[in-house]
Amino acid sequence: MHAAAVCFELRVPESRSLKAKRAAVRPIVDGLRHRFHVSVAEVDHQDTWQRAAIGVAVVADSSHQLEAVLDTVERFVAAAPDIELLDHDTAYLELE
């Protein structure tokens, strides 16, 4: 079993309210959940208008498959309209 968690730091430059930010972030969260069957949640900056952090957890049966899913998820987030991907940090679960 191979697992990883990724935190994406996002900027929503056109947002002028929390409602507008959520309208930009919600399609990303829902799209990741339904398209890639990963666990995903908004994990930070819930009360900030132009910032968001999305956490994504992925489990796969091989390291190759895990990397492929992580790459696809990153491309999906980076291509989302109305947001800028500022940074992402990946942590891998190591099983002995």
Residue 82, domain CATH? 3.30.70.1120
Q: Give the span between the Cα atoms of 48 and 28, in whole angstroms.
A: 17
Name the β-bridge partners of 2.
Answer: 60
CB 52 within 8 A of CB 21: yes
Q: How many domains does the chain have?
A: 1
Full domain range(s) for residue 58 = 2-10+14-93
CB 31 within 8 A of CB 51: no
Share of the chain above pLDDT 90, in %: 78
Report the pLDDT value the prediction gives residue 15, as an integer from 0 to 100: 86
Residue 87 pLDDT greater than 90, yes or no: yes
**The two three-digit tokens of residue 37, written as one number:** 């069957």
Residues 6+ apart with CB under 8 A from 69: 36, 38, 58, 60
Share of the chain above pLDDT 70, in %: 99
Report the pLDDT value the prediction gives residue 12, as an integer from 0 to 100: 93
Confidence class for position 95, pLDDT limits 50, 70, 90: confident
Cα torsion 70, 73, 75, 77 to 10°: value is -140
Confidence class for position 84, pLDDT limits 50, 70, 90: very high
How many other CB atoms are there within 10 angstroms of residue 17's CB atom?
A: 9
Confidence class for position 96, pLDDT limits 50, 70, 90: low
Question: For the residues 41-68, what does the mean pLDDT come to?
Answer: 92
